[in-house]
Each structure stands twice: as structure tokens, then as C-alpha cells.
Amino acid sequence: MSEMWINMGPQHPMTHGLWNLRVKIDGELIVDVDPEMGYLHRGIEKISEDRHYNEVITLMDRTCYVAGLAWEHLYIIASEQALGVETPERAQYIRVMTDEFQRIASHIMWYAAFVQDVGLMSPFLYGMRDRDLVLDLFQSFTGGRLTYEYNRVGGVRNDMPPGFTDRSRKVLDWLMDRFVEYDHLCLGSEIFRRRCDQLGVLRAPDAIALGVTGPMLRGAGVPRDLRKDRPYAVYDRVEFDIATAEAADVTSRYLVRMEEMRQSVRIIRQVLDWLDHHPGPVLAEKLPKWLGAPYAPVGREGYLLRRNYPKGVGFSSVEEPHGEAQAYVVNEGTEHPYRVKFRSPVFANIAACKKYMIGYRVADIPPIMGSVDICVGEVDR
């Protein structure tokens, strides 16, 4: 059979989200791949320029719909820098906790989608079930299950409800048992190992050259983790290890993510202990005037613009579940950010796909692409 292009997407079970992977196949062999992104572009960066600093947070939850709190954190760090706002310590700890919970939720979501790609049916449901527990926790203090709108410039919206830490510890204990079960279903299965070992190999030099970050980079043996390398929030005050694996294949990415979830549990336990003993404000006392209220009570007619606020620029990079995300916020002295720019880790991870897909078979496309952990929302923004 001669070579032919097939479109995997934009409407295809392999694509988790809305994107298109064009694959040139020779029989069952992949000869060439060509990712096409942009189907989900919503212009979030542009819309941000027309919103108040706090209102952009609603967009952040929709940027990556499985890691909303991590993206909120990313944006909030940058905008706090741009506005020159100090955050209370307790809010920093809460953000670390939400980040790690979000990492667990996102990785469980990844696990569910990934095993579905490999062909395992029931762990998908297990993953969704267990993720629900984390979402329950989120709901108990943010009020949302997917779009949280929890962070505010200068802190977080509200403190934890009473009894939250005990409930979290219960959920964490339960999740740790489930992680063992996940490993039994995947690593304990010879078929799974044969599907995924030595698959989608992306070695460290290529990964670094192509800007690949996150579990894909750590799966190639590079101990790069912003939480350690450039600690933000209070990550320098909690103990954890960077999860790495050597094989640079799909299995090693699986291993990295599983280990990261366990490390997240470790971090959350430390943070919960801290939160138990250090009550305090969660929102900064000294906020810029128009942020003193939850949001600026100003109209859109612009009659506030005559005031001059201090200008500034904020940059942040956060180790979100998919990799290193970066945000750049320019404050030109108005209530709206002058410019907001995000760097999505998944975009770089997908764009490197020629390096780790060519030469494998059609049946390998879903596991390889599943191991990238694609969130198209943040790719296209």
C-alpha cells in the first residue's frame, strides 16, 4: 500500500480536545506527522486586556480546564508582581496546596484518558471517580468543580471551611491506596508494558532543544522542576523530591506522573499541618485602591482612567501539571492589564511530536499522544 495522509482530528477519539494530527502512514508505519492547532483559539490573551485584573481569573480557569487553579496561580503571581502587591503567607500556603491538589486531579484525569487510549476501559472510570474526591474538596472551599475563580490579586477569595484539613487528609489516604491500584492495572499488566515500553522515545537533548517541559522532560531523566529550581510561593519551605525516570518513553512518563502524585500528597500533608497551626488573613490588607473591594466598582465608561496607578511588569513561571507555564503581565497604570502573554507547555510538547512519533505504528499514536497529556485549551488559549 502506498503512503497516505490520515487526519486524526479535529473530531477523533484520539484527540483529547480539538486539534488535528495529520499522520502520513505507510501501511501501519508512521512516516510523517503534522500537528495542527488553533481550533480552540478563544483569544484569551486579548480578552484579558479588556478586563480588570481580578476578572482575568475567570479566563484562567478556562485556559486549562483540568488545571484551572494552577493557571490562576500562574497569572496571579505575574499580576501581583506587576501591581506590586504583597500576598499574606497563609494565602501562599493555600495556593501551594491548591496547586498540588490540582496536580493530583490533573494527573488522575491524564491517567484516565491515557489508559483509555491504550485500550483499558475500567481504569478510566476509576480515575474519574477518584478525581471527583479532589473536586469535592475544591468545591468545599471554592464553590466550583471545574472553574474555581478562587485566587484574587493579593491572596485568595476565602479561607478553608472548618474541618477541611481533616477531610483532605482522609481523601489523601484514600488516594494513596488508589495509586497502588492504578499501578497494578497498568504496570502489573504485561500487555500494558509491551504496549508502552520503548515507545515514543524523546531523549533529553532533543527534549531540551525543543523546549519540552514537565513530565516529558523529567521522564527523559532531566531533574528540572520549577518548584525546586525557581521556587515560587512557598515551595522552598516544603519537602519533596523531583520525580524522574530514565527511559524517556511512555512508561517513564507514566512513572513520573505517578510519582509526582505521591510527592504532591507529601507536599499537601505538610501544608495542611502548617495551615492547622497558622491562622491568619488570606487576602492582603494593603491593596491598590481599585482592588480594595473584591473588584473595582467602576463602570466601563472609563471615568476612572484619569487616575494614575503605579506601573509595572510581572513575569511568572509555574510548574503546572503539564509542564512549565509562563505568564507576562504589563501594567500600564490602568485597571486593565495592558498586555497578557502566556506560554503553554503543552504547545511545545505537541510541537515536538516529529521527534517522538515517526517510526512507530498507527496503533502507537494514542498511547504516545496520551502520554503527552494534552490540554488543547491551553495550547490554543
Partner 1 sequence: MVTTLYDVAYFLSSSLLDALGTHLPGILGTALTNSGLIWLLAAVIFGAILLGASMINTIMLIWFERKMLGRFMDRRGAMHVGFAGLLQNFADGLKLFRKNTFKPREADALGYYSGPTAYMVTSLLIFGILPISSGWSDGSLPLTLLLALVIFSFAPLFIFVSAWSSNNKYSLLGGMRSAAQMIAYEVPILIAVVAVVVVAGSFDLTTIVNEQQNYWFWGPLFLALVVFVTGMLAEMERIPFDLPEAEAELVEGWNTEYGGMLFAFFMLADYLRALVGSILVVLLFLGGWTLPSYLPAGLTSFPLAGILWFMIKTYLVFGLFVWIRASLPRVRTDQLLRVGWMRMIPLSLLSIVLAVVLVAVRCLPVFGCLPPVGGT
Partner 2 sequence: MAASAPPPEKTEENPILWVARPMWTAARQFAKSLVRPSTIIYPFERLEDPKFRDEVQVASGKPIGVGHVWDNYRGVHALNIATCISCNLCAFSCPDVCIEMVTVPGGDPKHPKKCPQIDYGKCSYCGFCSDACPEGCLSMTTRYELSSPKRADLVYSPQKMYEVFQRKLPMSPIRLERPANEDAILLDAPLCIGCNACARDCPTNCITMLDIPKAVAKPGEKLPRRIWKEPVVNDSDCVRCGTCISVCPKECLFWGTHP
Q: Rank residues 51 and 237 by Cβ distance to partner 2 and give the closer one.
A: 51
Instruction: For the CB of residue 244, give the shortest distance to partner 1 in the complex, in Å.
Output: 25
Should residue 8 be labelled a site residue for partner 1 when binding is judged by CB under 8 A?
Answer: yes
Element (H, E) at 24: strand 20-26
Site for partner 1 in 11-50 (CB under 8 A): 12-14, 28
Instruction: For the CB of residue 225, give the shortest distance to partner 2 in the complex, in Å.
Output: 25
Instruction: For the CB of residue 28, give the shortest distance to partner 1 in the complex, in Å.
Output: 6
Q: What are phi and psi of 152, to 5 degrees?
A: -130, 155
Instruction: For the CB of residue 213, give the shortest distance to partner 2 in the complex, in Å.
Output: 19
Should residue 201 be labelled a site residue for partner 1 when binding is judged by CB under 8 A?
Answer: no
In contact, 39 and 20? CB cutoff 8 Å: yes
116 binds, among partner 1, partner 2, none (CB under 5 to 8 A by kind): partner 1
User: Nearest-CA neighbor of 225 among 142, 103, 111?
Assistant: 103
142 binds, among partner 1, partner 2, none (CB under 5 to 8 A by kind): partner 2
295 binds, among partner 2, partner 1, none (CB under 5 to 8 A by kind): partner 2
Angle between helices 89-118 and 68-83 (to 10 degrees): 150
Q: Which of 34, 36, 50, 119 binds partner 1 (CB under 8 A)?
A: 119
The grid coordinates listed for 172 are 489523601
Q: Look up cell 477518584; give the residue.
A: 130
Per-residue x/- marks for partner 1, 79-118, CB under 8 A? ------------------------------------xxxx
Q: What are phi and psi of 49, to 5 degrees?
A: -70, -15
Q: Look up cell 504496570; give the residue.
A: 187
Should residue 364 be labelled a site residue for partner 1 when binding is judged by CB under 8 A?
Answer: yes
Should residue 361 be labelled a site residue for partner 1 when binding is judged by CB under 8 A?
Answer: yes
Q: Which of 146, 176, 180, 191 binds partner 1 (CB under 8 A)?
A: 191
Distances (CA, A) of 351 to 18, 152, 175, 205, 229: 15, 33, 33, 16, 24
**Rg of the chain (C-alpha set):** 21
* DSSP notation for 40-95: T---HHHHHTTS-TTTHHHHHHHHSTTSHHHHHHHHHHHHHHHHT----HHHHHHH
Q: Which stretch binds partner 1 (CB under 8 A): 61-69, 85-93, 100-108, 122-130?
A: 122-130
149 binds, among partner 2, partner 1, none (CB under 5 to 8 A by kind): partner 2
357 binds, among partner 2, partner 1, none (CB under 5 to 8 A by kind): partner 2
